Structure 1
């Protein structure tokens, strides 16, 4: 069975954050069936559920439910694997976040990121998915704390978000959250998200370098292809991208093009923790973001390119994905 995994680079950042909080990970790893030495192998991957158990035991051992926020103190580009360097060589934070969304599966497969314009500014939305175990809230808190600290470190400026949203209830002690985020906090929100002003997202990065950005794009793209190529999920996405302009692809057609029976396709997708319908929805959402960034494409053309026979279905799906209309989203990109 194919499990979601986390890169050793991100796992090492988590371990440093936990050790800073007094957790002895060298002894804890064998207890959880994890290989401590593999943290130094840049190509190693750790199972998502193993990382969830690590967070839960760390909270138990430290007595500190806010231990994930320590990630803000271990900022270094390598924690994001090659993606960190691709982000740094981008022209602006906005361009950097687009790269982060594109390549985030390299860092951790259990995370889904989306980034889009809103009437107030920009929203970086995060969803963490568990495998067999529900994800630990510390995982999302660590990701958001690290992401914001990385932005501040790259720009050398005190980036203060408009709002930080958390899915869970408010913790008893809010002080660590106030210190790390220095922004209004909202709990019991529908999604975990960081909301930024347009000014902050248009900040030019002092490390910007177009040639390096292209080089890192190639490295990240190659890694993603190598890493994803063996997965049925990746192969189905490629088939869907090819079929969508001809209308909504049927599962039996996709299975036939992959020389699989429908039942085998369904089982193999299930083993990778995804359904055909969810994959179709995710692929359409990702393509919608790419198409809307191309000003020459009309909204009607985009609806048909995404396989929607009726444009009103596209508008409904888009509002579900991003909480805004395609027109509002596109205006936010300008």
Structure 2
């Protein structure tokens, strides 16, 4: 699985927030092995874990346990990459937040957002995921503070929240939270969220511009597509799918097809959290599921399409993947199908993304 990443635009916002504490951010980046100059590249990305380490180091050096709330002081649409401008040109904050949810991955892949209308008002609910490291509370608190500050900046007026939910435990000093949100606070909540008055979310924005909103939607959609396709993992998987029916692809063959050296291919895959051998194995496993779902395909055909010269190697790999022989797997699938659609949906294994299809927008 590829490591989750954060845009350089959001990372730049973090840097500005840390500078309020008088921290030497170029020195912090050097200490963490990060490229400070990459902040000037709008297409650069930083891993989620590197941002976690940055927050942790900043808290340690500054002693500020609520350092993430500084993000509210530096927020501008540019902090959100192209998504910020799409939000800015929306008719209302509610429409803008719907765009924010749609394009969230551009800003940071580590966060899941939902926006919904309930009896209490509109809720913007945030979940931050870690990779190898658990996420720090500063990531979520920075996002909440930033979202509120952006609402005030775009609307040109103070937005009074109904309440704020913070997943982290209540800190000893809650004064920074009172200052940042000026609303009832609920700590130890099941998730991080801002709850808005419905009228604030549905009021027209002075920055609304329908033509620009359409243009920014296009830019954001194109960026998402380019971002997915630029991942070496994605491109290498597509090459593997094409090559497997001709036999097991070698790393040098895939590197050549991608116009990369073997060393560069291995390094790029490593940066995205995988390796050539792991990617090959994962691709074969996902394809094996697709092939065995086709009743007319023989096990021998499936073995050769997966690049196994010797069918016994396919059988051994299959048992390692699913703890079943291919024949047992297919039998269970047939039984699940005959039991009805619900049982079939729960069948032999959980649904996975097909190995050789383009990602959904």
* Both structures adopt the same fold (TM-score exceeding 0.5): yes
Give 1:1-334 correspondences, 5 Å limit. 2-229=2-229, 230=231, 252-253=289-290
Q: Distance in 2 between matches of 1:106 and 1:21?
A: 27
SS at match of 2:157: coil
Moved over 6 A (4+): 254-257, 259-264
For residue 288 of structure 1, what is the aligned residue in structure 2?
none
Extract unaligned runs of 5+ from structure 2.
238-286, 295-304, 308-313, 322-340, 347-361
1:104 and 1:13 map into 2 onto residues whose CA distance is: 16
Deviations 1:237-282 (A, max 9, x none): xxxxxxxxxxxxx99239979x879989x99xxxxxxxxxxxxxxx
Q: 1:15 to 1:120 in 2, by over 3 A?
A: same
- 1:309 deviation in Å? 5.4
Q: Decide whether aligned partners of structure 1 residues 99 and 169 sit closer, same or farther in structure 2, where only a CA change above 3 A counts.
A: same
Partner Cα distance (2:60, 2:100) in 1: 31
Structure with the bigger RCO (C-alpha within 8 Å, sep 6+) is: 1
Q: Cα distance, 1:77 vs. partner? A: 0.8
- Judged with a 3 Å threshold, the aligned counterparts in structure 2 of structure 1 residues 67 and 132 are, in CA distance, closer, same or farther, namely same
TM-score, normalised with respect to structure 2: 0.66
**Structure 1: unaligned runs, 5 residues or longer:** 236-249, 268-307, 314-334
The whole-number CA distance in structure 2 between the counterparts of 1:38 and 1:108 is 16
SS state at 1:37 partner: helix
- Partner of 2:113, secondary structure, is strand
TM-score (norm: length of structure 1): 0.71
- 1:210 deviates by 0.5
Residue 24 of structure 1 and its aligned partner are, at CA, apart by: 1.1
For 1:101 and 1:192, locate their aligned partners in 2 and report how far apart those are by CA, in whole Å: 15
Contact 2:288 2:306 in 1 (8 A): no
Alpha carbons 2:81, 2:106 under 8 Å: kept: yes
Alpha-carbon offset, residue 44 of structure 1: 0.5
Pairwise CA distance, 1:200: 1.0
CA distance in 2: counterparts of 1:74 and 1:255, whole angstroms = 54
Q: Following the alignment from structure 1 to structure 2, what is the Cα–Cα distance between the partners of residues 5 and 254?
A: 32
Q: 1-side partners of 2:82 and 2:68: how far apart?
A: 22
Conserved 8 A contact 2:163-2:186: yes
Q: Is the 8 A contact 2:154 2:207 kept in 1?
A: yes
CA distance in 2, matches of 1:216, 1:251: 40
State how far apart, in whole Å, the 2-side matches of 1:56 and 1:176 are.
18
**CA-CA distance at 1:4 after TM superposition:** 0.7
Corresponding residue pairs, total? 256
